[in-house]
Structure 1
């Protein structure tokens, strides 16, 4: 299969989720009013990439229901190409978010038999990514059957032509961490980039330091491991060479979508620096630092507004101050 000359875009494969938040101003003792916002880790990453200016395609399965219409509109309005996505008869996935005083979200999921996990071999066979330099996936779509095994097979084929990026995004309320631990060695053999959170690390390798975890995953085949550390920034390890980048100071409204925005910023900068498209040959620790610093900035801006609402390119530019408002979709 021939690739187009010098592709620089990113294809994202995964789920959309409706994030429902309690509307306290309109709720009462006998009524709970929820405000539903379009989300889902892979969809958030695709939106952030497109808003930053990276040519982005999203491969998803959209339900016929009202949430499916909402998902399509958000992605399209952000500039995401939906060629290759599927219109499905199954329902959309719903996550009800509970925010603590620090804006940290925990979720209750309604996801059984949802559209996101029902990928067929025929659907994936027609999925388009040959004009992209990177295929990014992960989260629930990569772990929930029956679609997850087919996505893994798809990654193995795509890896011959482009860089593979994976974000496990562990969701223990839906899938036991043991299931992620079982599949992670296989994902490491497929991935060039592994981005995960400190919470993911705790669930995947309990009691293991970030540095030791990086070495384990390098031995499994991953060249670049990035572990985000919340307000402490991120640790990046390139073949065992490590750097820690700080997180910009920001007034946190909530952390919804922060990790997804970090991933988008990271991939956006790696694409701009010409490092996506293969096995990261020629990638230096200096460029990793640059990309992770930009990812931390994009994540901080996302934390400064409600919900998974990543910034557009003008607000994310280094010359734009963090105090500037982030344009909304």
Structure 2
């Protein structure tokens, strides 16, 4: 595989993910293990570990969690030179895993550093040679920072591919707020990646194919909907492909969607498709990139927490996909 030399910029939040530790808990106290997370931060870590030069723009608190975030990002090779040292506290999420190892979260986020972007802070971080800017999640929807990020994307789009993952968090922001902004985001985004759960909240009752057509009409050229253990549906201007998920023993699904996004952007960078409006991307290239992304996500599910694989681990583990099933959408 070609190793990308072009850089990708990721913009968004860091979140301290706290998991219960049964071994250290008792009926009268609860022990928590805190791991660094946050959708955009996870994506930046995964991209850098895969070998894509990655710049992360974030407002990272000076508290104890901020130190944890910086250590993880730096150890993974992420460039933090554009991030802001923020006086506000970090965002904290308490994660609860169900019997299928799916995580649900309780958030403590009011007044956190992640949402306080100013226009001046972002104007100082205009990317230079980056071929893509990826953002989304809470940083894009929460105010006051979200509106400034939208303005930043409009400027970045002049020379970079724009990728957005809404990552709907209904406990913090009503789905209606995402729905209200999504058509605007699609007008700016070249790539829209979201989960099946996101789809059910944004367009209740719509099939993945119907949703893809809706978001294509709004402006997004490549729409990818991840389907958990069933893989992912990708739609490029209405031409569709379904990519299966490799078989792994699932420990938990924390960070799997973020890892998929990183794998997708990494592979599209390696194939030379980023830096514009995806004009040269074909369904074959889409299938290649999504198959690679599915492998990255599967390996992330095979270990605890959002701990995406390094490039060496992917090279050592051959793909187990049985093949991709594609079709062309009718008009």
Structure 1 residue 7, shift from structure 2 partner: 6.8
1:63 to 56, 61, 64: 61
Structure 1 residue 208, shift from structure 2 partner: 0.4
For 1:8 and 1:237, how far apart are their aligned partners in 2?
25
Structure 1 residue 321, shift from structure 2 partner: 4.2
Return the TM-score normalized by structure 2. Answer: 0.94
**After the TM superposition, which residues 147-226 of structure 1 pair with which residues of structure 2 at under 5 Å, given as runs?**
147-226=145-224
Structure 1 residue 322, shift from structure 2 partner: 7.3
Contact 1:89 1:115 in 2 (8 A): yes
Structure 1 residue 138, shift from structure 2 partner: 0.1
1:141 to 139, 142, 148: 139
For 1:119 and 1:35, how far apart are their aligned partners in 2?
29
Would you say how many aligned residue pairs link Structure 1 and Structure 2? 317
**After the TM superposition, which residues 259-274 of structure 1 pair with which residues of structure 2 at under 5 Å, given as runs?**
259-274=257-272
Contact 2:5 2:53 in 1 (8 A): no
Structure 1 residue 9, shift from structure 2 partner: 1.2
For 1:289 and 1:321, how far apart are their aligned partners in 2?
17
Runs (4+) off by over 6 Å? none
SS in 1 for 2:67: helix
Structure 1 residue 129, shift from structure 2 partner: 1.5
Contact 1:7 1:133 in 2 (8 A): no
Ranges in structure 1 where 5+ consecutive residues have no aligned partner:
1-5, 324-329
For 1:132 and 1:150, how far apart are their aligned partners in 2?
19
SS in 1 for 2:24: coil
For 2:318 and 2:23, how far apart are their aligned partners in 1?
32
Ranges in structure 2 where 5+ consecutive residues have no aligned partner:
321-331
2:249 to 251, 259, 274: 251
Residue 115 (1) aligns with residue 113 (2): yes
For 1:101 and 1:322, how far apart are their aligned partners in 2?
27
2:30 to 22, 32, 39: 32
SS in 1 for 2:93: strand
Contact 1:13 1:42 in 2 (8 A): yes
Residue 320 (1) aligns with residue 317 (2): yes
Residue 104 (1) aligns with residue 89 (2): no
SS in 1 for 2:246: coil
